[in-house]
Structure 1
């Protein structure tokens, strides 16, 4: 049975008081309104990880993710955060390969493979992000482009290691552009990625991996998206900053 997951990526938003208030509201709403079969992952800015950890530690359906980690174990890398540091404060997940990291920081598939390795070696589960731009979407082999991201960053792993990874498909062309990915378009990609994993690791492994959708998920779009057979939840951006909106998305799962 695949894990049902809704993750909220806060990006570079919220001052501390706002972050604490949002967390408290989500915990209360989740306890009152959300069934226990969904894992809720909060991805606050790194500076708040230890604070938010204290608020969620008695809420078993909540977990914590960092938004990034270094590919290096330790050393003279000012401003970087290692996977070992994340593990030492109880962070269970880390986003790797988010489209903004790829775009603004030019992170390559090869670099992301090293980040995946470092996270797994330190007991932190990667939420591996993949997706295509509008230009790539207009290319007839857009599915091949995203499959290649998976191949180059994940297919060196053993089956056991891969089962510790969550995949998040984010169609970059549908984020902040006014364009929308339909549930059929999202399901097409999710099914293709699951089939691609099956071709390397077998059907049993492919059926165990959670694949999330990350293209401007809202409370209105979540029910249809999450009803798709290969979509196991969402990686939510802006909507995760509003407690009621995010709770409604979680409920849709």
Structure 2
């Protein structure tokens, strides 16, 4: 694959705007010019501070977006609002949104379509729970989720495979596990988008750290990582960047 690796750093519900600025300034001091693409997926209130203080070439993204363009949707944040504060990416369908907020594949697809309509690149998350993995049904489960989550969505997308049993648990899918699903996802993307599927990045997410990221991202169909806990400390981010060089 000729596409550049993407490190999407998902802070989840962590860091105030002041803390985000300090993190960005520390990263600016220490990050080498030669690096994979970095995108910081921060809480919406921290995006302006990040956009103003991140080093050149590091982008920002959001962790969710409304499926609606605008209107009477109290508490929601539109794609146009995110673009206006500098966001380039947005995560949709993260397992925590699916589990805690009941988001369906149709909800995820609606959000992805809204993101694309406003020039945001959606990072569409799919993956199986432990019960599905133990039954050996991880491939059909994940591909069904992918199909529903990409309904009406164009090829300007990133797909993140996140085995739910490996998120925040310290358990990590092996490099072979990651490639098994990434290869299946790639085949499904080819069936949907044709030759354009070769340019779609497939990320792995789930307890990614400096000591395991290189082996995972060395797989033929894995083009980076969606990183949770290890994204919160600049030294860990630098360690992952170094591991990928």
User: By the TM > 0.5 criterion, same fold?
Assistant: yes
Match status 1:213 vs 2:204: yes
Q: Which residue of 2 aligns with 1:26?
A: 27
Match status 1:239 vs 2:230: yes
* C-alpha contact 1:11 1:45 (8 A) present in aligned 2: yes
Query: How many pairs are equivalent?
Result: 243
Q: Secondary structure at the match of 2:148?
A: helix
Q: Secondary structure at the match of 1:27?
A: helix
Match status 1:113 vs 2:99: no
Q: Which residue of 2 aligns with 1:52?
A: 50
- Scaled by the length of structure 2, the TM-score of the pair is 0.94
- Scaled by the length of structure 1, the TM-score of the pair is 0.92
Match of 1:184 among 176, 179, 192: 176
Match of 2:147 among 137, 144, 151: 151
* C-alpha contact 1:35 1:251 (8 A) present in aligned 2: no
Q: Which one has more relative contact order, counting CA pairs under 8 Å at least 6 apart?
A: 1
Unaligned runs of 5+ in 2: none
Q: Which residue of 2 aligns with 1:76?
A: 72
- The Cα offsets for residues 66-94 of structure 1, whole Å up to 9 and x where unpaired, read as 11011011111111100011112221111
Task: State the shift of 1:51 in Å.
Answer: 1.2
Task: State the shift of 1:27 in Å.
Answer: 2.1
Q: Which residue of 2 aligns with 1:17?
A: 18
Match status 1:167 vs 2:149: no
Q: Which residue of 1 aligns with 2:7?
A: 6
Return the alpha-carbon distance in structure 2 between the equivalents of residues 229 and 15 of structure 1: 37
- Would you identify which runs of 4 or more consecutive aligned residues in structure 1 move more than 3 Å? none
Task: State the shift of 1:177 in Å.
Answer: 2.9
Task: State the shift of 1:156 in Å.
Answer: 2.6
Query: Over the residues paired in the alignment, what is the CA RMSD in angstroms?
Result: 1.4
Task: State the shift of 1:232 in Å.
Answer: 0.7
* C-alpha contact 1:226 1:252 (8 A) present in aligned 2: no
